[in-house]
Amino acid sequence: MKKNIHLSTKPLEIQTCRDFASGNSNGAECIFIGTVRNATQGNAVHQLHFECYESMAIKEMEKIADQALIKFEILTITIHHRVGTLAIGEIPVIIAVGAAHRSAAFDACQFAIDTLKETVPIWKKEFFEDGEVWVSAHP
Amino acid sequence: MKKNIHLSTKPLEIQTCRDFASGNSNGAECIFIGTVRNATQGNAVHQLHFECYESMAIKEMEKIADQALIKFEILTITIHHRVGTLAIGEIPVIIAVGAAHRSAAFDACQFAIDTLKETVPIWKKEFFEDGEVWVSAHP
Amino acid sequence: MKVLIFGAARDIVGKQELDFPLPSDPSVKSFRENICSQFPELKKLNALAFAVNEEYANDEDVLKNQDVVAIIPPVSGG
Amino acid sequence: MKVLIFGAARDIVGKQELDFPLPSDPSVKSFRENICSQFPELKKLNALAFAVNEEYANDEDVLKNQDVVAIIPPVSGG
């Protein structure tokens, strides 16, 4: 399997992503793991909530994987994104790329997370002690 | 703990590397995993053997971690390397970097594996059906 | 037209879904103007994109009655 | 001097460790020339670096009798 896309309300698992990304022709795997930070611009974050436009989000994630497989010399790409409510330290996103050589793995993984943050219809709300805010929504 | 360096004759574990790399201030982790490929330039590889100059290899790995912590805005770096005999699909190296932001995590992880391959006194012998060769030793 | 509304835009509109009349000029641009005049707070968002049938749309794209339009405030996944 | 030998260089020398006399000119360059003339196959390697007491050394570095010198063929970790 060359690509594996998943939107999940359950905790993401690195080993599951690796299982898709690994293969005997790989010499290199690059894995990006996003985690919920305990602060944004100095304000303590208590939890996050992710919502998504599910059908379109999956389509956009598929597009990113397809583009990565064309643009870079990689063998596999896995993109898993979590939705729902996450606590500090939990994992909203894992991207795992397998390739014969490492530079393609790094480049494709970075391309995938950069593009995901620009195009995939998923929205993050941060909860602080004194309020909540949709990230990046307002100037 | 900011850096964690390990040379091991036992299988490397991604979760162990993540445990060192992760922290509540991290928003991003980049993990590089080297794996034993089943072929080099079209020749089927059966297994690999890694030997090292242990005391110096650890010093050089420490230097890479220290440099990465200075050069990039990262919070943690873990470099684990395996030695001994490895089969196809096994993991010779894992580098895990934790950072507040992803681009520093990617840059530091790539710097660390690139530098490791240039400076750390570890040598890889590839075993083919009809012989064996020290990688990169001869023109 | 069925209109889906997400994130900060949903909080402004107060609903996840609307039935919205096809504008007399059925372009995405015209729909944007209509929805923003009905919910002026939408103009205060950093950006506002639209999708038609799960694909990002341009201002000049033409809408049909059976389309599903989505109002997409700045995304922040990852 | 104690000399440690690794990888492809060890296969050429046939030993992991040697006792080697301090060259009359005690530079790393001079040691390199001596060891390469004793084991000419070392010259066929892609490159040959030396470490003195676990640190990479330059040709002009000066060796002492109690130093531990390592012969380092091209590394290939990772």
Q: Is C40 exposed, middle or buried (0-12, 13-18, 19+ CB in 10 A)?
A: exposed
Other CB atoms closer than 10 Å to residue C37's CB: what's the count? 10
Dihedral sign from CA coordinates of A132, A133, A135, A139: negative
In chain B, what percentage of residues exceed pLDDT 90?
82
Residue range(s) defining the domain that contains residue A57: 2-135
Q: How far is CA D72 from CA D42, D56, D59, in A?
A: 11, 9, 14
Contact (Cβ atoms closer than 8 angstroms) between residue A50 and residue A124:
yes
The predicted model gives C8-32 an average pLDDT of 96
Residue ranges in chain D modelled with pLDDT below 70: none
Cα-trace Rg, chain B: 15
Decide the pairing of beta strands A74-82 and A3-8.
parallel
Contact (Cβ atoms closer than 8 angstroms) between residue C1 and residue A131:
no
Query: CA-to-CA distance for C27 and C71, rounded, in angstroms?
Result: 14
What is the pLDDT, as a whole number, of residue B48?
Answer: 94
Q: HSE-up of C33 (CA within 13 Å, CB side)?
A: 9
Query: From D51, which residue of chain B is nearest by alpha-carbon distance?
Result: B56
The predicted model gives A94-106 an average pLDDT of 96
Residue A89: give its domain's CATH number.
Answer: 3.90.1170.40
The nearest CA of chain C is from the CA of A68 a distance in Å of 17
Dihedral sign from CA coordinates of C50, C52, C56, C58: negative
The domains found in chain C, sorted by start residue, are 2-72 (3.10.20.30)
Write out the DSSP string of C21-72: PPPSS-BHHHHHHHHHHHSGGGGGSS--EEEETTEE--TTPBP-TT-EEEEE
Average pLDDT, chain B: 94
Confidence band of B24 (pLDDT split at 50, 70, 90):
confident
What is the pLDDT, as a whole number, of residue B42?
Answer: 79
ipTM for the whole complex = 0.94
The nearest CA of chain D is from the CA of B139 a distance in Å of 5
Residue A24 in this model has a pLDDT that exceeds 90: no
Q: Is D56 exposed, middle or buried (0-12, 13-18, 19+ CB in 10 A)?
A: middle
What is the pLDDT, as a whole number, of residue A1?
Answer: 64
A interface mutation test: which of B15, B106, B115 has the most A CBs within 10 A? B106
Q: What is the residue whose two structure tokens read 């200075």?
A: B70
Q: Does A44 touch chain B (CB under 8 A)?
A: no
- Which positions in chain A touch C46 (Cβ < 8 Å)? 136-139
Confidence band of A39 (pLDDT split at 50, 70, 90):
confident
Residue B37 in this model has a pLDDT that exceeds 90: no
Confidence band of C70 (pLDDT split at 50, 70, 90):
very high
Chains with at least 3 CB pairs less than 8 angstroms from chain B: A, D
Out of A37-46, A60-69, C48-57, which region has the weakest mean confidence (pLDDT)?
A37-46
In chain B, what percentage of residues exceed pLDDT 70?
98
Contact (Cβ atoms closer than 8 angstroms) between residue B21 and residue B96:
yes
Length of chain D: 78
What is the pLDDT, as a whole number, of residue B1?
Answer: 64
Residue A96 in this model has a pLDDT that exceeds 80: yes
* Number of A–C residue contacts, CB under 8 Å: 82
Model pLDDT for residues B65-96, shown as the tens digit of each residue = 999 999 999 999 999 999 999 999 999 999 99
Out of A60-64, B22-26, D68-72, which region has the weakest mean confidence (pLDDT)?
B22-26
Cβ within 8 Å, pair C70-A53: yes
| Structure-block tokens of residue A90 | 């939990």
Domain total in chain B: 1
Query: CA-to-CA distance for B68 and B77, rounded, in angstroms?
Result: 8
The nearest CA of chain B is from the CA of D9 a distance in Å of 9
Query: From A92, which residue of chain B is nearest by alpha-carbon distance?
Result: B27
What SS3 state is found at C19? strand
The predicted model gives A100-120 an average pLDDT of 97
Average pLDDT, chain C: 97
What is the pLDDT, as a whole number, of residue B43?
Answer: 84
C interface mutation test: which of A32, A56, A82 has the most C CBs within 10 A? A56
For B35, the closest of A29, A88, A109 (CB atoms) is: A29
Query: CA-to-CA distance for D35 and D16, rounded, in angstroms?
Result: 14
Query: CA-to-CA distance for C45 and C76, rounded, in angstroms?
Result: 13
